[in-house]
Amino acid sequence: MRIGLILLLVVIVLISAVQYKGIRKSLSAEREEIHSAWAQVEAAFDERAAIIPDLVRLADTAVPQEIATTRAVSAKRDALAAVRGVQPKIDANSRLDEAIARLMLCIENYPKVDRSKPYNAILEQLKEADYHIALARRKYNEAVERYNTRIALFPNNVVASLARFGKIDAYFLTVPGAP
């Protein structure tokens, strides 16, 4: 009887160890998926950031009275490039979005610039870059949501606690209907 109890305990420990290892491995893979999704977000940010100097040059040349607005866009772009960390990047990107929107509103007041080929070409590039950002943001948010849901469920929550897998709180706020 005693040997049977010891064997039962050994089997339970082995099964628990195998399950622990499997859950830990899958949580690690999901965390890596989040890192990969974040890298795509940063690449999309960089893609848009590369377009901004052209927009600023065009605005400075065509609408010099809006220099304060163009300087604000440049400063927000530089701030996005300088900041490190997921949530600070998300926040800096939001500030850059707002600055670009203000500059676009200013340019709309100048129909000659607003209808020009160079401006429309830059605008198309920005639209495509914004689309890439939206897709990358969605994939990142989905990966974070999937991971956070998994670590909240039993027995994953026990493994997550033991292996120090914490909840990730860095999300993008999304607009309904956005890709």
pLDDT higher than threshold 90 for residue 61: no
Measured between alpha carbons, how far is 145 from 1 in angstroms, rounded to an integer? 48
Most confident of 15-19, 60-64, 175-179: 15-19
**Among 77-91, 130-144, 155-169, which stretch is predicted with the lowest mean pLDDT?**
155-169
Cβ atoms of 147 and 30 within 8 Å: the answer is: yes
* H/E element, 143: helix 117-152
Measured between alpha carbons, how far is 150 from 83 in angstroms, rounded to an integer? 30
108-117 pLDDT, tens digit per residue, is 888 888 788 9
- Domains of the chain plus CATH, in order, are 20-162 (1.20.1440.20)
Comparison of pLDDT for 129 and 169, the residue scoring more: 129
Q: Can you give the pLDDT at residue 173?
A: 60
Cβ atoms of 96 and 76 within 8 Å: the answer is: yes
The 8 Å CB, 24+ separation contacts for 157-162 are 159/20, 159/23, 159/24, 159/27, 160/27, 162/20
Cβ atoms of 136 and 37 within 8 Å: the answer is: yes
Closest to 123 in 3D by CA, of 90, 100, 102: 100
Measured between alpha carbons, how far is 139 from 131 in angstroms, rounded to an integer? 13
Amino acid of residue 153: L
Q: Which two tokens stand for residue 65?
A: 């009275």
Q: Can you give the pLDDT at residue 176?
A: 42
Measured between alpha carbons, how far is 79 from 73 in angstroms, rounded to an integer? 10
Q: Return the beta strands (E) in the chain as ranges.
A: none
Question: What percentage of residues in the chain have a pLDDT greater than 70?
Answer: 95
The interaxial angle of helices 67-82 and 2-62, nearest 10 deg, is: 160
Q: Which two tokens stand for residue 7?
A: 């064997």
